[in-house]
Each structure stands twice: as C-alpha cells, then as structure tokens.
Amino acid sequence: IIAKVREEKQKQEYEDTLARLYIYADVTFRKILTPSQRRTLKNNLINLSQRIMVFEPVESHSSSHVTSLDLNHFGWNIGQRMKIPGCKPRQQNTEIAQFLKESFICTFENSELKTIATKLSYEDGKFTLPKVKIDEELRAHVFPGTEDLPDKTD
C-alpha cells in the first residue's frame, strides 16, 4: 500500500510539473506563436514527456525576436524539469534537441542534432531567455521587442 501511495504521489507531482511546463511554454510564446502553433507545441511537449519522438513543426517562419540560443535555453529549462523517465542525461539532451529541431524547423534548419544538444546550456552568444536553475521558479519570458505587441492570433 505504501508503495502504491508513493507511486501515486510521484505521478501527481510529474503531472503538476508538466502542467507548469505547458503554461510556461504557452505564456512565453504567446506573442511569437499563434494559438494553434502553441497547441502544436504543447502536443510536442506531451510526446516528449512520453518519449514519443514524433514532433510536428511549430514555426512557419523564424522570429526576429527569438534566437536559437533562446530556444536552446527553453529546451534546457523544459528538460531539467521534465526528467524524462528512463532517459539518461546525455540521451535526454539528444531527445530535447530532436524536439527543438523538429518543432522549430525554421530556426534550426541548418543545425545538426549533436550541435543543438551540446548548446542547450551555452551562455555565449545572443539570447534573452535565461536558463533557470531547477530549484528556481520557472517564469514565462517576454522577448525584447514584444512587450507592447498583442498576443498572436490564428
């Protein structure tokens, strides 16, 4: 009985974490992506959390407000919290890289998976979306230049 209670608690904690990640993604990209693109991003996150490595493209074009390093940090922030079950850290970075490359096809069209995986935590280069330590609250990011823009619509 104790093991079952512990398992249920862990499952609920994981579901709560995923819900926070969906909100983080939705609010962070609401001025960059349309509602349907954000739904696709959420579905891709669901697939990633279940290790279903099939992702639909989210972008129809690159955004001038978001760099590849911003997206790398987004992936790092997601991956650090998701802790994909049964996935070793190096393998998880590769899966996060695949998620990013296939979701943000325009931004990463000339990038190799290995390169994306190794740059998830890079601090050198142009970016505004910070890496957030695992013990810190994950807050939605507002990309510079989007502060006064309306939310994207379909």
Per-residue pLDDT reduced to its tens digit, 103-132 = 999 999 999 999 999 898 888 778 899 999
Instruction: Give the dihedral sign, CA 93/98/99/105.
Output: positive
Kindly tell me if the per-residue pLDDT of 86 is higher than 60: no
Could you tell me if 104 and 40 are in contact, meaning their C-beta atoms sit under 8 angstroms apart? no
Considering the chain, what percentage of its residues have pLDDT values greater than 70? 95
Quote the pLDDT of residue 13: 86
Quote the pLDDT of residue 153: 93
Torsion angle, alpha carbons of 38, 74, 85, 133, to 10: -140
Kindly tell me if the per-residue pLDDT of 87 is higher than 80: no
